Amino acid sequence: MKMTFRWYGEGFDPIPLQYIKQIPEMTGIMGVLNQYQAGEVWEEAEIKKLVDQVNAAGLECEVIESVNVHEDIKMGLPSRDQYIENYNKTLENLAKYGIKTVVYNFMPVFDWLRTELAHETEDGSNCLYYDHADVEGMTPRDIVELTAKESGGLTLPGWEPERLERLDEVMALYEEIDHAKMRDNYRYFLEGIIPTAEKVGIKMACHPDDPAWDLFGLPRIYRNRDDMDKIAKLYDSQYNGFCICAGSLGSNPENDVPAIFREFGERGLLNAAHVRNVKYLSEKKFHEAPHPSSTGELDMHAIMEAIYDTSPDIHIRPDHGRMIWGETGRPGYPLYDRALGAVYLGGLWESITKFKNR
Ligand SMILES: [Mn+2]
């Protein structure tokens, strides 16, 4: 297992690489070139610059997250062929600089979605929060505006203004797309890119829809174990795998998260992992919790054990953190609470390793 940390790049992320390096046992980052819009080719010079900069800080850059999938691909528009060609070119370019895994998602229109980005909790910290009742009283445009307002001037991944300019047009087009059609479009994308991923040696790792249910009538197709089984069968390859996000799937109490990690790990399809916790308040209402099991709903030890038993060589990272100790910054991506999460997960790993080898 390699412990990593999501980093948005200089000028986009307030956290210096050196601070990330100071977290014990941190091996590298899950990086991104935030300057590119979905559908654009990532140029070699820019990739090299990122990798060199990360390496100079004593960290590895073996995982990229996210190479965003253009909406036209998800909607199955004729322009998708050009965007798939561009995606392949990006994968080829990334492979030249040592990238081994690409995390992405196939969520329609929105990336992860919350109704509050700075929800105050009892101890005075704040965290990401979701209440489905609030979503039902909102339009898609309301939620875009709310997210932009609460993100403190930083563009959040999947919420780029350029991507959302076409919101009304895109929402209208999705009225014709059901889950089966969305899966067909996904199959077309996988048939277009997995041969390239195999050739250049990059494992693709799809991130779940978050929260793990449909929103605004949009067809979300990665919400649970059965959705994952269908995705795996769209294109049979170890390069068509998953980045299981414990907190995303864990938003729905019906998902047995440790069992999902174990099953897809055993099938050789767990290509990366986000390990974080969530606290249920009532049906479809939750806030994000600190990483330890006792503070939320998920058994983090069982999740780490499933990774240890099935996929011990993957990259993992702590996921969203709370704002604690007065920290401000990118909602969900603070330094302090994610560092606590990383060290906690590292402790579980040491314990599991020693217990199983004595
Ligand atoms: Mn995640």
In a 13 Å sphere around the CA of 61, the CA atoms on its Cβ side amount to: 25
Residue 245 annotated as catalytic:
yes
Spot the catalytic one: 13, 72, 131, 319: 319
pLDDT at 112: 86
Q: Give the full edge-to-edge strand order of the sheet including 126-131.
A: 116-120, 126-131, 285-289, 277-282
Q: What tokens does 224 get?
A: 């649970």
Instruction: Supply the DSSP symbol for 224.
Output: S
Instruction: Supply the DSSP symbol for 82.
Output: H
User: Which amino acid makes up residue 286?
Assistant: F
Q: What tokens does 147 get?
A: 């997210």
Residue 333 annotated as catalytic:
yes
Residue 132 annotated as catalytic:
no
Spot the catalytic one: 127, 129, 131, 274: 274
Query: Where do runs of H (alpha helix) occur along the chain?
Result: 17-21, 44-56, 71-75, 80-95, 132-136, 140-150, 161-164, 167-174, 179-200, 225-234, 246-249, 257-266, 300-310, 336-356
pLDDT at 265: 98
Tens digit of pLDDT at every position of the chain (358 positions): 999 999 999 999 999 999 999 999 999 999 999 999 999 999 999 999 999 999 999 999 999 998 999 999 999 999 999 999 999 999 999 999 999 999 999 999 888 889 999 999 999 999 999 999 998 888 888 888 888 887 776 666 666 666 677 888 889 999 999 999 999 999 999 999 999 999 999 999 999 999 999 999 999 999 999 999 999 999 999 999 999 999 999 999 999 999 999 999 999 999 999 999 999 999 999 999 999 999 999 999 999 999 999 999 999 999 999 999 999 999 999 999 999 999 999 999 999 999 999 9
Intra-chain end-to-end CA distance of the chain, in Å: 19
Give the phi and the psi of residue 152 in degrees, each rounded to 5.
Answer: 65, 35
Q: How far apart are CA 260 and CA 120, in angstroms?
A: 31
| 119, β-bridge pairs | 127
Q: Which residues, at least 6 apart from 348, have a Cβ–Cβ distance to it below 8 Å?
A: 300, 301, 304
Query: Where do runs of H (alpha helix) occur along 22-107?
Result: 44-56, 71-75, 80-95
Q: Which residues, at least 6 apart from 179, have a Cβ–Cβ distance to it below 8 Å?
A: 219, 220, 221
Contact between 277 and 293 under an 8 Å Cβ cutoff? The reply is yes
pLDDT at 160: 67
pLDDT at 154: 67
Residue 357 CA to ligand 1 center (angstroms) comes to 30
Residue 110 CA to ligand 1 center (angstroms) comes to 14
Residue by residue, DSSP assigns 246-312 as HHHHTTSTTS-HHHHHHHHHHTT-EEEEEE-EEEEEETTEEEEE-SSGGGSSS-HHHHHHHHHHH-T
Residue 154 CA to ligand 1 center (angstroms) comes to 18
Spot the catalytic one: 207, 287, 291, 315: 207
Spot the catalytic one: 186, 320, 336, 344: 320
Residue 319 annotated as catalytic:
yes
Q: How far apart are CA 104 and CA 86, in angstroms?
A: 15
Spot the catalytic one: 174, 245, 337, 344: 245
Contact between 242 and 139 under an 8 Å Cβ cutoff? The reply is no
Q: What is the pTM of this model?
A: 0.96
Residue 33 CA to ligand 1 center (angstroms) comes to 18
